[in-house]
């Protein structure tokens, strides 16, 4: 049952990154791809009906983590208190930028909120990548299961690490490039004419960086945690993950220049899923590695009671069905190219 909940949390985190990832990517290219006020309104209309709903997956994943692995929730939320506060502020600033931009007609204030929306989107992508980098690298957990990390120390790996070092910064850059390309494909799907072409162009420019950073990050991860390959050695099915990752990159390279942005977007989604599933597969059954392996938090020493987990799967299934039905309805209702008109966004 603990293993099942491990993968449930993994699926919910993946759903958040895939769905809110294109919102963040759209914000990252917002000031570059959209040259006029009408084009910026189109970008906001493309994500307007769904951006806040996509963030529900982050809240749901946090709630599920609290229910299934309370010890992990307590350790990670206390140890990562500073970056979590920064992420919350960035989420709020991003929402403020989107909402107030549509209510204030003054060009100066519209430009200000455009910058707030774009910069907060870029920083969120970097922080989410750095967070994953911290989990893979490991944190300075002690025997009580708690830790503290400053924002940075000397940017080198060691017993006392910071939130930011060379590895986690690299993970943040990988996330930024990946989500920028992901958001570019989505903007290309939802818009037309020059804006769509510029979005496809940005995604095409991102591809060499994405491929290079993917290769470098895999090598760096093996250097940082040599044991990361143990599960792949024991379970050959895990070799499907790198096939999915590099196959998705190949499809993106082929589809984008041919104007098949929908196929490229699906491939980008599979790439993100492959990277996250690959990380979870490599870490299992560890949920938060320690710099000293004897203090690792695993599904066995952090999970809630088996009876609670068994009952919870029933209620989680009902909630998941409702959430999926809602998202299918929303995305079908707002399918197709966006058009400008009166009203918000």
CB-based burial, 129-163: b 16+ in 10 Å, e otherwise: bbbbbbbbbbbbbeeebbbebeeeeeeebeeebbb
Query: pLDDT of 130-188, one tens digit each?
Result: 999 999 998 989 888 888 888 888 888 777 788 899 999 999 999 999 999 999 999 99
Query: pLDDT of 269-327, one tens digit each?
Result: 999 999 999 999 999 999 999 988 899 999 999 999 999 999 999 999 999 999 999 99
Phi, psi for 286 (deg, rounded to 5): -80, 135
Sequence ranges of the domains in the chain: 2-333
Q: Give the whole-angstrom CA distance, residue 315 versus residue 182.
A: 32
pLDDT band at 342 (very low <50, low <70, confident <90, very high): low
Instruction: Give the predicted TM-score (pTM) of the model.
Output: 0.94
Q: Give the whole-angstrom CA distance, residue 91 versus residue 268.
A: 23
| Superfamily of the domain at 2-333 | Formate dehydrogenase/DMSO reductase domain (1.20.1630.10)
Query: pLDDT of 6-34, one tens digit each?
Result: 999 999 999 999 999 999 999 999 999 99
| Token representation of residue 216 | 């470098």
The fraction of the chain above a pLDDT of 90, given in percent, is 73
pLDDT band at 52 (very low <50, low <70, confident <90, very high): confident
Query: pLDDT of 191-218, one tens digit each?
Result: 988 999 999 999 999 999 999 999 999 9
298's enclosing H/E stretch is strand 297-298
The fraction of the chain above a pLDDT of 70, given in percent, is 99
* Per-residue pLDDT, 191: 93
Query: pLDDT of 178-187, one tens digit each?
Result: 999 999 999 9
Q: Which residue has the tokens 């990832």?
A: 21
Query: pLDDT of 269-280, one tens digit each?
Result: 999 999 999 999
């Amino acid at each position: 049952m603990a293993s099942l909940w491990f993968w449930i949390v993994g699926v919910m985190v993946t759903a958040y990154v895939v769905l809110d990832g294109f919102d963040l990517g759209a914000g990252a290219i917002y000031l570059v791809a959209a040259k006029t006020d009408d084009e910026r309104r189109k970008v906001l209309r493309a994500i307007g009906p769904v951006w806040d709903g996509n963030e529900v997956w982050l809240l749901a994943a946090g709630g599920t983590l609290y229910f299934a692995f309370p010890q992990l929730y307590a350790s990670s939320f206390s140890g990562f208190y500073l970056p979590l506060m920064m992420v919350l502020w960035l989420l709020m600033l991003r929402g403020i930028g989107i909402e107030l931009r549509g209510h204030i007609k003054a060009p100066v204030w519209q430009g200000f909120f455009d910058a707030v929306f774009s910069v907060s989107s870029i920083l969120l992508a970097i922080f989410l990548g750095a967070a994953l980098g911290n989990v893979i690298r490991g944190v300075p957990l002690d025997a009580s299961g708690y830790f503290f990390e400053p924002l940075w120390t000397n940017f080198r790996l060691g017993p006392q690490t910071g939130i930011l070092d060379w590895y986690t910064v690299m993970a943040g850059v990988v996330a930024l490039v990946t989500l920028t390309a992901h958001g570019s494909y989505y903007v290309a799907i939802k818009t037309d004419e020059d804006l769509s072409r510029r979005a496809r162009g940005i995604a095409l420019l991102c591809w060499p960086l994405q491929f290079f950073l993917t290769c470098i990050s895999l090598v760096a991860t093996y250097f940082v945690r040599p044991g990361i390959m143990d599960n792949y050695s024991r379970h050959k099915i895990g070799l499907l993950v790198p096939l999915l990752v590099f196959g998705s990159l190949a499809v993106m390279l082929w589809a984008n220049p041919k104007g098949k942005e929908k196929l490229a977007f699906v491939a980008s989604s599979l790439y993100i899923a492959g990277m996250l599933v690959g990380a979870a597969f490599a870490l299992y059954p560890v949920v938060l590695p320690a710099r000293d392996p004897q203090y690792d938090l695993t599904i066995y020493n952090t999970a809630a009671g088996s009876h609670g987990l068994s009952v919870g799967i029933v209620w989680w299934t009902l909630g998941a069905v409702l959430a999926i039905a809602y998202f299918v309805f929303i995305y079908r209702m707002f399918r197709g190219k966006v058009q400008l008109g009166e009203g918000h966004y």
